[in-house]
Structure 1
Amino acid sequence: MNPAEAHILKQPEPYRSIYLHLQVLIEHTLPEANLLYKWRLPCYYIDKRPICYINQSKDYVDVGFWHSAHLSKKWDSYLVTEKRKVVKSLRYKTQDDIDDSIFISILKEVEGIKQKGFYKKDDL
């Protein structure tokens, strides 16, 4: 078992169930994605490009997207910035909070922009 999987399995409920559900969605949607353990967090990469990370923080699970500057504006009502300049995230307090279709749509869009930088040139 890799360290990222061990990290997921040692989470207390309800966070472990949220992590596992997200893991299934990510690995089903992006079968080429690799689960790595970076910065003490489970992170998904395609080749050497980061796609997202999963982190339990406070009373929610945060799925952060590094390439969020390039995502369609239609996702803005779902994504949280919380004063971060680069990363935007989806947050879930329960497994029922996860809208699979929205999550999968964002993953597919992130996959399509993974070659772009973290910043948009006009954002600098």
Structure 2
Amino acid sequence: MKSTEEYIIRQPEKYQTMLLHIIAVVEKLVPDSQLLIKYGIPYFYYKKKPFCYLASNHKKEFVDVGFAKGFQLNKNQEFLIGENRNTVKSLRYFSLESINNKILESVIEETINLYN
């Protein structure tokens, strides 16, 4: 079993469903990306560079979708959280229903364009 699968299986169902949904969206938009475990969490790589991580925060009850070049993004700033970080900005989801696919897809696409 892959370590990314192990990470997901260890999560409570609430987080599993959000993680699986987000992974499906990323893999659909960036089919040549690679999902690995780095720093103990799932991290998507594109062109051998990290671009997006997924982290469950059980204490605060959300899934953080962090973008490595988040501060270089121009669109969707009202939805991106910087929170005392220098390069990473993230989208936060508290439930599967709170995931806005249009915003998620837009942020992923803009991020990928930074690597081209």
Shorter-chain TM-score bucket reads over 0.9
How far the C-alpha of 1:86 sits from its partner, in A, is 1.2
SS at match of 1:106: helix
SS at match of 1:78: coil
- Equivalent AA in structure 2 for residue 29 of structure 1: L
SS at match of 1:91: strand
Question: Do the aligned partners of 1:15 and 1:56 also contact (CA within 8 Å) in 2?
Answer: yes
Question: Do the aligned partners of 1:5 and 1:42 also contact (CA within 8 Å) in 2?
Answer: no
Distance 1:47 1:40 in 2: 21
**TM-score with structure 1 length normalisation?**
0.87
Give the structure 2 partner of residue 62 of structure 1. Answer: 64
How far the C-alpha of 1:70 sits from its partner, in A, is 1.4
Distance 1:37 1:99 in 2: 25
Q: Give CA-to-partner distance per residue, 1:41-63, whole Å, 9 cap, x none.
A: 00000121111000001210000
Instruction: Give the length in aligned residue pairs.
Output: 114
Give the structure 1 partner of residue 5 of structure 2. Answer: 5
Give the structure 1 partner of residue 111 of structure 2. Answer: 110
Give the structure 1 partner of residue 37 of structure 2. Answer: 37
* 2:96 counterpart of 1:95: yes
* 2:87 counterpart of 1:79: no
Structure number with larger C-alpha Rg: 1
Name the Cα RMSD after superposition. 1.1
How far the C-alpha of 1:10 sits from its partner, in A, is 1.7
Distance 1:51 1:86 in 2: 11
Distance 2:95 2:7 in 1: 18
* Unpaired runs of at least 5, structure 1: 116-124
Distance 2:67 2:28 in 1: 18
Distance 1:6 1:77 in 2: 33
**TM-score with structure 2 length normalisation?**
0.93
* 2:28 counterpart of 1:28: yes
Question: Do the aligned partners of 1:67 and 1:110 also contact (CA within 8 Å) in 2?
Answer: yes
- Equivalent AA in structure 2 for residue 59 of structure 1: E
